[in-house]
Amino acid sequence: MKRLVLAPHMDDESLGCGGLLAKFPTECTVVTMTDSGAQRRAEFDAAMAILGVTHARHLGFPDTGLGAQMSAVVSTLDDLFAELRPDEVYLPFPSLHQDHIAAYEAGMRASRASMSPQHWFPPTVLVYDIAVYDVNLHPSDLRWNVFEPLTQEQAEAKAAACAAYVSENPGGPHPMNSIKELSAAVGSMRLVAYAEQYALVRKVRA
């Protein structure tokens, strides 16, 4: 199984898919789409070390500017999909942040069925939740309908990875400081100890 997680910013992968990454570290490649400087890159490296992920790509588009370069972003993802041929692609929910909307749209376009024989059509596409954004500006019919069970160790690794992003933590009551508790809340509603939630866009059975 080859899983590809698209992160608009370095921290989104841990906030949305940290448990999945801790559960399947050798199967996952994290692709960060924007560059926010050396400190965030160091925090990303620390988070990946906590999760055990060793495969990452950095596209380096300007922070807050993904939407203005949509053609280039989609073309880059087309090439990346063709190279890596992922079985599952994970996209951010298109919520409040403009880069999240752009990353979702670019990922959906790159996941299309194409007339080109070189184009890779990922059989499974899912959207992940980033709890720090609770306002949805992008109309969609996405619903949380896939739940990844996590162990306590995986939930704690996710929380530790998120905590590695010191520059992004506002302190005090905040979703970034309640990662394990949020995983427990999602899990307990599905009769497991911890879980992450995803919206299934497409699944082509093997």
pLDDT digits (tens, 9 = 90+) for 163-195: 999 999 999 999 999 999 999 999 999 999 999
pTM score, two decimals?
Answer: 0.96
pLDDT at 95 over 90: no
Task: Give the residue carrying structure tokens 């160790």.
Answer: 153
Handedness of CA 46, 78, 86, 141 (dihedral sign): positive
Q: What is the 3-state secondary structure (H, E, C) of 64-129?
A: CCHHHHHHHHHHHHHHHHHHHCCCEEEEECCCCCHHHHHHHHHHHHHCCCCCCCCCCCCCEEEEEC
Model pLDDT, residue 135: 67
Rounding to the nearest 10 degrees, give the CA dihedral for residues 72, 131, 95, 143: 110
Query: If pLDDT is split at 50, 70 and 90, which confidence band does 96 have?
Result: confident
CB atoms within 10 A of CB 126: 23
Model pLDDT, residue 140: 82
Across all residues in the chain, what is the average pLDDT?
A: 95
For the record, the structure tokens of 180 come out as 């394990």
Complete domains list, the chain, with CATH? 3-203 (3.40.50.10320)
Q: What would the pLDDT profile of 23-47 be if each residue is shown by its tens digit?
A: 999 999 999 999 989 999 999 999 9
